[in-house]
Chain A
């Protein structure tokens, strides 16, 4: 096998060179197509059934409902079947919104006296049944998200006052309150819904277990729960027709098993969590291609409960930060991917424009600082070498989602390092449901390890760190400030960051906010949780990760060798 594989990869390499040569040759006359539109169309073979691995399966595919919050449902089915107003494309080093194929050019934005966005819908845009996509679909979408029951998250849509659908080709959206992240609306995790099919129906019942309409390149043909999701081309798609006959996502929920399946050739591509054995194996060399990107919408941090002993003391939070060698932790976890330095802001990489990337850089391993800060705060080391104050020890319960090997490993390193500095760290890991649904909202934790995953390019940082969003009776306990951050000078900065329509003003506010967060050490950033995409040489076409849309949003351009 080894020998024949080599021969194959040599062939593939040669083929690859020809492809590059071809695309270079034709690049001159096509010019501005950008990364997604390389002129390989003539080279990409027609037909074939592609099998990919999916690590999770959505609980349901009624995207608006609270059961559909899972990223995997979005990456596999949503982006391929639901029309959206904006795409996210690579823009220099970063990522930017660009109007999707649904729209006729950039929508018009008015800000005075009210925020009004006018979307012009392409006349080619049709649903899979041939009916045109209209402004009524925009209106229906907004109505469902704001008035429906059991909605995942109506943020942004609640700012909308009305959607005018008098002209089917033009949707005029009027906001009652300014919403800076408007480009994430009518898309994001939701998409746009076909009013002519769903109007008057029970949307949840019609969609939850699968739906057969589509406004994207693919149609959901079958969803055999627990085993596979099958997509077939949407013949009526007005953009580029898929070349493959079908794409099947095989559901393999165990990262290790998924990885084994890829390395044995059972599936052609996987998008696994960056578990240690995966990173190790990439490092040791596996067949096929891999790309890993730290340019993600993720931010993994040691999230501290600013309201619970002992992290209710700034000195203790800082001392704890100085007890860790974060660079070593990150190198141990992701060194195999070339990521060797800790992340130093609580914003994810894709929000670089609003971020002070070095805000937390001063928090490096410094045991003297630990001693100074702790003794200054009235702590003394007891007989076991653990800090103690008024009879209470600096014991920290460190919680993460159980079953995640990488996070458990991270915990083991933190326990060891913080232990050296006199903090007693214990663990009590919980299921994701309990962790995110109970412990974090209730503030029933001291230190947590998890990643915030952003699904839009626009910051909504105030949701996370403004004092009015601490879960309380005022916000029906639905506030997302689980760290109980209460820093008065932070609130106005984050409000500006979230709500201003002036990009420069937002950037300054964001950078200042980062400084304030670091100064108050509201939590300790660790890493941007790199996205890893692995695919075999059999896949031909522009395979690339997209931090928002995921890696499967351009499968209509893929082929199978």
Chain B
């Protein structure tokens, strides 16, 4: 198992390196990092910045220099804010980790609940309704869902029901000067987490339903039923557990999708996380931030995939990692 993990990690390293080089090259080709200094009346600024970044050298040399420092833990400074990138990433990552965490928890819970329910009640009206909703969830552009959610939850619903207070907030993760896990936090969390996970809930619940149907028609379930084990117990003891296994792999693959979804979610809900950091950095050609972003995200995705493999092997003893 240990060697399996090690090998997977070793294979990932060149892939991440190539990706980071391509990104570096792309951004350097596209943006002139000294452009924003042109408005300064001090002509030596540009020259100093050029020297500092080694812009007069070929791109592979610049990349090598950046990589050396990056590995040593010096992730550079943002050329927009002059702030150390490590500080920016740490701050953004914390917000993002919260969103991702709640996104996964909510998606997994809802998807399994809907999937199992639909499968058990196959071809009933609730099944059709839930299936229809998951089709819509899959087809809905998440950013549009987010805007509609604000439109409804923050404005329409308070208007229709004559509420004194809107039920949810949609700016940031906390009200000003507040922090911690409390009602305020939950009010802020609802809409962004739904926006982030709407597509995923749709597709996971469809997947879970299919997996559950497979399991329910399997021989061992029929055997268990034939032995007189109560239906509810069969469904939860044997059915759900076995149906979860395929979902785990799908979940791991979709972690990348969650990170992609952060771009729009954080934009719409003004959350200073990794997605917003990426968009801001891309608009400014802020290379140090973009590189750090990509590598952090890549590590996340790789680790989640490994984790999924491990969980998979635990849940299904027939699978050996090698």
Contact = CB atoms under 8 A, between A and B. Distances in A.
Interface of A: 1-4, 49, 51, 59-60, 66-67, 69, 149-155, 208-209, 224-228, 230, 246, 248, 250-254, 257, 260-261, 263-267, 403, 431, 433-434, 436-438, 441, 476-478
A541 to B, nearest CB: 19
Interface of B: 31-32, 34-45, 48, 80-83, 88, 91-92, 150, 154-155, 158-159, 162-166, 169-172, 175-177, 267-270, 272, 276-277, 283-285
Contacts of A150: 40, 42, 45, 48
Contacts of B162: 1-3
A438 B32 contact: yes
A4 B150 CA distance: 22
A1 B270 contact: no
6 contacts: A66-B42, A153-B41, A254-B270, A257-B171, A264-B169, A478-B41
Given A2-B162, A59-B82, A433-B285, A51 B42 contact: no
A254 B276 CA distance: 11
B177 A66 contact: no
B170 A264 contact: yes
A548 B285 CA distance: 31
A433 B30 CA distance: 13
B80 A438 contact: no
B35 A438 contact: yes
A437 B37 contact: yes
B84 to A, nearest CB: 9
Given A230-B177, A251-B270, A434-B35, A260 B43 contact: no
A248 B176 contact: yes
Given A60-B81, A260-B150, A477-B43, A51 B38 contact: no
Contacts, number: 141
A4 B164 contact: yes
Contact of A59 (B81, B92, B276): B81
Given A49-B177, A248-B176, A251-B270, A478 B40 contact: yes
B55 to A, nearest CB: 14
B170 A260 contact: yes
Contacts of A250: 171-172, 176, 270
Which of A224, A263, A431 is most buried by chain B, counting CB atoms within 10 A of its CB? A431
Contacts of A264: 154-155, 166, 169-170
A225 B88 contact: yes
Which of A66, A251, A433 is most buried by chain B, counting CB atoms within 10 A of its CB? A433
Nearest to B165: A1
A218 to B, nearest CB: 15
A44 B197 CA distance: 46
A362 to B, nearest CB: 33
A149 B270 CA distance: 34
A127 B177 CA distance: 26
Given A66-B42, A151-B42, A438-B38, A228 B176 contact: yes
Given A2-B159, A67-B81, A437 B43 contact: no
A403 B269 CA distance: 17
B172 A227 contact: yes
Given A225-B272, A230-B177, A252-B171, 13 more contacts: A67-B81, A150-B42, A226-B276, A228-B176, A248-B177, A250-B172, A253-B270, A254-B268, A264-B166, A266-B170, A438-B35, A438-B38, A478-B43
A67 B286 CA distance: 14
A60 B82 contact: yes
A227 B170 CA distance: 13
B122 to A, nearest CB: 42
A209 B83 contact: yes
B41 A433 contact: no
Contacts of B41: 151-155, 478
Given A2-B159, A60-B82, A252 B35 contact: no
Contacts of B154: 260, 264
